[in-house]
Chain A
Amino acid sequence: MDRNKNILIVGVGGQGVLLASEIICNVALKAGYDAKKSEVHGMAQRGGVVSSHVRFGKKVYSPLIKKGDADIIVAFEKAEALRWVHYLKEKGTIIINDYKLIPPISSMKGYSYPENPIERIKKRVKNVVVVDCSNIAERLGNLRLVNTILLGVLSSYMDISEQIWTTVIEEMVPKGTEDLNKKAFREGRSVSES
């Protein structure tokens, strides 16, 4: 790998964005790369916008990705995908969870949830992968698995062995949920294979 890889994970507070980026970062470390990630905690936790920048490669300087320089964006929510899509490289890939989370403020005058976010994203970039993770998670019996499913999807666009992914996931998810999470990861990974 000549150039550093830039992965941007975005969503809403409480969706598991930070755990997902933590796992990606540790996967990169285990694969022998230098890795950095950056996000801001604080006010954002309470239903706010959450973004996490992950960068890895031979040597990483900036913890932040430049606009238009992300190789992959993983969006946990559709409006968030639209908010951050300008960070994607022209030839990059955006993976979107087909899920809509309407903020309470939308009931007030002057605020509305974006119309057709996916269509608008497709007008801007070519490689758009939409996955209904909630549906898969529901089938597996736990809605909290969405982030692991998305990691599975992401892994099929990255050049790191499945073995490393599952080892790190096993180490980092809550005790007792390892098998379920590995199953969710495999489900996500098989989305692009099918």
Chain B
Amino acid sequence: MKAILSGNEAVARGCYEYGLHVATAYPGTPSTEILENVKNYPEIYCEWSPNEKVAFEVAMGATFEGARSLVAMKHVGLNVAADPFMSMSLIGAPGGFIIVSADDPGMHSSQNEQDNRYYAKFAGYPCLEPSDSQEAKDFVGEALSISSKFDVPVMLRMTTRICHSKGVVEFGQRQQFPVKGFKRDPKKFVVLPAHGRIRHPLTVERLKKLQQFSEETDLNRIEHGTKGVGVITDGVAYQYVKEVLPEASILKLGMSYPLPIEKIRRFSEMVETLFVVEELEPFIEEQIKAQGIGCEGKKYWTNLGELSPDVVESGFIEAGVLEKKRAVPTGEDVIVRPPIFCPGCPHRGLYYVLKKLKAVVTTDIGCYTLGVLPPLESGDTCVEMGASIGVGIGMAKAKGSGKGIVATIGDSTFLHSGMTGLLNGINDRAGITVVIADNRITAMTGGQHHPGTGNTLMGTEGKHINLTELCKALGAKRVRVVDPYMLDEMEKVLSEEMQSDELSVVITNRPCALFPPENRKLIKQNPFYIDSEKCTGCHLCLKVNCPAISESEEKSEKGLTKCIIDGNLCTGCSVCAQVCPVDAIIQKE
């Protein structure tokens, strides 16, 4: 049987076919759909862990028990899991273990475009890079077999274009691999200085063996073409090279670390000019050059953003390999469509009020980061998961007061890595205001449960975490719950807490308007409409930035365009009605 699968769906299918036992993750674009699809195979235990570090540790524990396991995360998630990632190198992966790193060249949905192949080199792990969906599935099997054979964790490095592109995949049967059981061996599993000194030389030996494997494996294959031009390439870049230079000789690296240096040397001797086409950093190019093998790469292909067939083609034109046959057509300048809060989103009222109060807002990673964009423009710093609280504390300490500083963080992000920051703020008496925008879901990645929602990925009932109790248990004395649809109440509570000398926590209590999908019906109230006779065209309602509100064709006496509400989109949250100065926004009976 064959079907059209995305790279992420194919990885999940690979988990099934290659006998995986345990899969874990924290959601993060572009990796999220891997676990969302693994859950369709009940043979595999899977979970959304509270963060990538815990996810890593759970999957690591499973492979210590002799199971085949996998942990998936977006590229920046590996920064969170870097501690176990590095130390595991000394231990190995007795049952077989895959780390999926889903990088995001072009930053479609991320704060940076770090190239995680460097992490594989850093820890001395093999790095496998599928170039389409079929390989995404096949490489799960390859990675697990390399992992078991060499007792080493393997990085399966994906990119957004591989994760989210779809292609034809052939299906196979599930293979069975019994869980081998934990074999007590403290010198291996207990990382102490004394043990580390014994294990480190073994990892050096292991890397030499992997190097040899890399020379021999078909994962790194030469496709013979013309002798004039040779191209070394990996991941999705391979597809672009095949597209624009079908006759060239190609060394396709399915395993980009450790590099098959001797194979590369032989390949370089077969061709007249050698190019390296790789996305992001010159990871392969630098290592090849360090071996004294002449090649060109980043001279013609940028290390910024995604490659594309256009970019790869223009690089070959610049290098004199291709003739310029046509001018690349340029697009028209068309109005942008920045993502905005959904109708009924509980974050809208929060950021509207924070702007009004002129708060210094240290914000965090999630849908609510969109509060930074105009017209709400409320959000002064955003760095990484959980940073809002630590950064707020640091600003308060440097300034001498936490008054007016508001750290905003979502529920999922708070449980991911905000709790320790809050603990710190309470102990430090930082005096900032922490707002937990609790919409009871991980929304930005498409509505995943987290350990606080009361449901698990496998559909079992979990523990619903009461955030008020949790914050009090951490030592917060001032904890208040507010309704983010009620602007006056929000303003009153937030302005009081911003003036307080003590650290306070304000928790908003409306659920996400989009996820889980049942919410869409639950939250729907009678829609509002704008009485065009009363509307003066002041456009204050547009400042709440709701997709349901737009300008109409009708104009006021002063020639200002009036506004209308799309009743199909409106959820009846009433925020716009509260900002209308002439009470022109009315709820339908």
Contacts and interface: CB of A to CB of B under 8 A. Distances in A.
Interface of A: 12-13, 22, 25-26, 29, 34-49, 60-68, 79-80, 82-87, 102-108, 111-114, 120
A63 B161 CA distance: 8
A85 B332 contact: yes
B92 to A, nearest CB: 35
A46 B445 CA distance: 11
Q: Majority SS of interface residues in chain B?
A: loop
B329 A68 contact: yes
Interface string B92-126: 00000000000000001100000000000000000
A62 B240 contact: yes
A105 B445 CA distance: 23
Contact of A67 (B236, B310, B542): B310
Given A45-B339, A103-B335, 13 more contacts: A29-B168, A36-B132, A40-B30, A42-B109, A46-B341, A47-B337, A61-B240, A62-B242, A68-B326, A84-B331, A104-B547, A105-B374, A108-B375
B165 A111 contact: no
B374 A36 contact: no
A191 B341 CA distance: 37
B400 interface: no
B242 A48 contact: no
A60 B160 CA distance: 19
B335 A105 contact: yes
Residue from A43, A68, A114 having most chain B Cβ neighbours under 10 A:
A43
B329 A67 contact: yes
Contacts of B30: 40-42
B411 interface: no
Contacts, number: 150
Contact of B337 (A38, A67, A87, A105): A105
A26 B338 CA distance: 31
B310 to A, nearest CB: 5
B410 to A, nearest CB: 15
B335 A61 contact: no
A102 B561 CA distance: 14
Contacts of A46: 339-342, 367, 370
A160 to B, nearest CB: 15
Contacts of A66: 243, 308-310, 313
B551 A102 contact: yes
A45 B549 CA distance: 18
Given A86-B332, A103-B337, A104-B340, A40 B160 contact: yes
B568 to A, nearest CB: 8
Contacts of B331: 83-86
A115 B341 CA distance: 27
B166 interface: yes
A37 B337 CA distance: 23
B398 interface: no
A107 B551 contact: yes
A102 B550 contact: yes
13 contacts: A22-B4, A39-B165, A42-B30, A48-B339, A62-B242, A63-B165, A63-B239, A82-B334, A84-B331, A85-B332, A104-B547, A104-B550, A108-B375
